Structure 1
């Protein structure tokens, strides 16, 4: 599999997943030759500044887009038009109109399109999705999803202008997959400065409520943490995790029922590596696409509605 990886910033997270596999040939594309060469060199990959070749070179099977959000849909459409499979970082589009255009293009193409909905590959989230689908604990009535982080990425803003689209989107996907689209949305937000803030979203559904909380108001020793509490008619699932920047990531899941509390054993998994594994398995014909654009449209719509309440029309 030969992959054109566009972007040398967050693209390095994808590059690490490809490098760990050893069965993918990757070329990293960036605007700055020195930066591209430095980023690619960490993984033993080639580098290029000639973006056009990602689409015109017939040897590339997959275009992987890790560029700023406004470029996600245009580049994904270009890849499909060029006859390439495409993986784009989330969110897949900057507007709902663009998202619908990508869904239509992917549906009309004989190529695969993927959106990096990495949270779907987090084991605790998979347990929640299975419990909702199978009715393991009855009907889901209340779901609270939260994430809180320190400023761990130098130069990256985690202020109100970026939090909804770049940080809350995956948590909102977890909610829409569990409960669908809400009938009511209420949003509160607070900013410390242009690069740090917090957003709290309350969602009303028929017979259920949900909350999504995202904060970047944490000191460096906090690291990054998150989790969820899902209250069903017959039980509760509670998940907690840390990203482990000290080299010691943690993840726990506890099920509470009338019979008591029990720890749910979770497999060790890197969600980004698992997402890449899934993409390549689909391209080999070994799996059905679980992260196609059509399945990410509800989360995009909800994220855009939250962003509009926080930041107004863009």
Structure 2
């Protein structure tokens, strides 16, 4: 399979996975000839600055879009119009109407569109989804998710402007998959500067509550850490992990029930490999698409609501 990988920044996370596969041929596309060639060369890929070729060259089967959010929807639509499959970094779009247009176009097309909801492929999260779907511990009553990171990605801002779409979207996907859309939302924020901040969001449901805590205020020595505590009627799942730019988190999930604590035996896997393995399995006809545009709309709706609350608050604040 020949893949056009658009983007030399976060595209490196996907590139590292492709480089370990023998069943793909990848060309990396970017704007800067020297940077693109250098980055592509690190993974053994060819490079190009002719982005149009990713869509007009019939030899490309899949367009992998790792570009700024405002370009996501337009480039997915362009890929479909060109008769190609598309994999797009999250979020699917920065506007819910654009996301719905992509969803409708994907439904009409015989090509697949995948959204990189990588957190669905983290074994700890899969354990949570399975517990909810199977009712292993009864009804989910309370869900707390937290992610606290140092500024580990040079040049990347993790301030209030960026945090909702860049960092909270995965949590919103977990919450909506586990509990659906909330009845009410409360958001509080703190900003150290334009690149470092924290957001606390609390969500109310008819018979449950959830919280998402995101922070980029941590010192470098802290690294990146996260996890969740899911309280069910008959038990608790508690997950902790340490992760970084390599996309290979380590961590544990412990189940607490009347029988005592038990550490779950989970497979060793990283989310980006799992996500791309899934994409390839779908394209080979071996699996159903679990990260389609239609499957992310509720999470995106909630994410954009948080973004509006955070950034409207900043604009409207008399301070």
Task: Name the TM tier (shorter chain).
Answer: over 0.9
Instruction: Tell me by how many angstroms 1:246 deviates.
Output: 11
CA contact (8 A) 1:157 1:196 kept: yes
Residues 225-304 of structure 1 aligned to structure 2 (within 5 Å): 225-243=225-243, 250-304=250-304
Deviation of the 1:245 alpha carbon: 7.5
| Residue 61 (structure 2) aligns with | 61
Contact 1:223–1:245 (8 Å) recurs in 2: no
How far residue 243 of structure 1 moved from its aligned partner, in angstroms, is 1.1
Q: Structure 2 matches for 1:1-314, cutoff 5 A?
A: 1-243=1-243, 250-312=250-312
User: Segments of 4+ in structure 1 off by > 6 A?
Assistant: 245-248
Deviations 1:111-167 (A, max 9, x none): 000000000000010010011001000000000011000000111100000000001
Deviation at 1:265? 1.1
**Shift in Å at residue 21 of structure 1?**
1.2
Mapped to 1, the partners of 2:279 and 2:302 lie a distance apart of 25
Runs of 5+ unmatched residues, structure 2:
none
**1:226 alignment partner, SS class:** strand
Q: Give the Cα separation in 2 of the matches to 1:185 and 1:244.
A: 29
In 2, Cα distance between the equivalents of 1:36 and 1:302? 35
Distance of 2:9 and 2:248 partners within structure 1: 24
Counterparts of 2:50 and 2:249, CA distance in 1:
38
Find the residue that maps to 1:236 and give its secondary structure.
strand
Structure 1 alignment gaps of length 5 or more: none
Q: Return the alpha-carbon distance in structure 1 between the equivalents of residues 311 and 180 of structure 2.
A: 24
SS at match of 1:312: helix
1:75: how far off?
Answer: 0.2
Give the whole-Å Cα distance in 1 for the aligned partners of 2:245 and 2:297: 32
CA contact (8 A) 2:13 2:245 kept: no
Q: Partners of 2:106 and 2:248 in 1: how far apart?
A: 39
In 2, the alpha carbon distance for the partners of 1:102 and 1:247 equals 27
| Structure 1 pair 52–166 and aligned structure 2 pair: CA distance change class (3 A) | same
Separation in 2 of the partners of 1:138 and 1:253? 18
Tell me the alpha carbon deviations over residues 62-105 of structure 1, each in whole angstroms, 9 at most, x when there is no partner: 00000000000000000011100000000000100001111101
TM-score normalised to the size of structure 2? Answer: 0.96
CA gap of 1:203–1:15, structure 2 versus 1, over 3 A, is same
> What is the CA–CA distance in structure 2 between the aligned matches of 1:185 and 1:240, rounded to whole Å?
25
* C-alpha distance after superposition, 1:191-248 (max 9, x if no partner): 0000000000000011000000100000001000000000000100000000167999
Give me the whole-angstrom Cα distance separating, in 2, the residues matched to 1:136 and 1:120: 19
8 A Cα contact 1:244 1:250, kept in partner: no
Distance verdict in 2 for CA 1:216–1:34, change over 3 Å: same
Q: Distance in 1 between matches of 2:24 and 2:130?
A: 31
Alignment length, in residue pairs? 314
Question: Secondary structure of the residue that 2:204 maps to in structure 1?
Answer: strand
